[in-house]
Amino acid sequence: MIAGLQTGDSASRRFGGMEYVCEVCKQRIEPNARGKIRVEGVTHSSTPKAWIWGPVPCHDECRLRLRTPYDDQVGTGEYVLTWQDMTA
């Protein structure tokens, strides 16, 4: 996790050359043109900003095949799948 990372001091700066691997296909994820990668996770519907599971990096095209321990409960209204663009 790189929560709290400050950006803006240098747009071209690399943060340790960190690599992101897709949770589904285990292939590397390259940040998009805006330097973001997609992360997916599960939150409780009453606390949509708090991850219960994840977030994990995931390709856009792989997200429909993502499996979580909460799959049985997602869709019942209690847990929700959530995604974010995270600065890579």
Contact residues toward Zn ion (CB under 5 A) are: 22, 24-25, 59, 62
Q: Nearer Cβ to Zn ion, position 22 or 42?
A: 22
Residue 86 contacts by C-beta under 8 Å, 6 or more apart in sequence?
2, 36, 37, 38, 39, 55, 57
Burial class (CB in 10 A: 0-12, 13-18, 19+), 2: exposed
Nearer CB in complex with Zn ion: 36/50: 36
- Least Å distance between CB 67 and Zn ion? 13
Q: Which is nearer to Zn ion, 22 or 86 (CB)?
A: 22
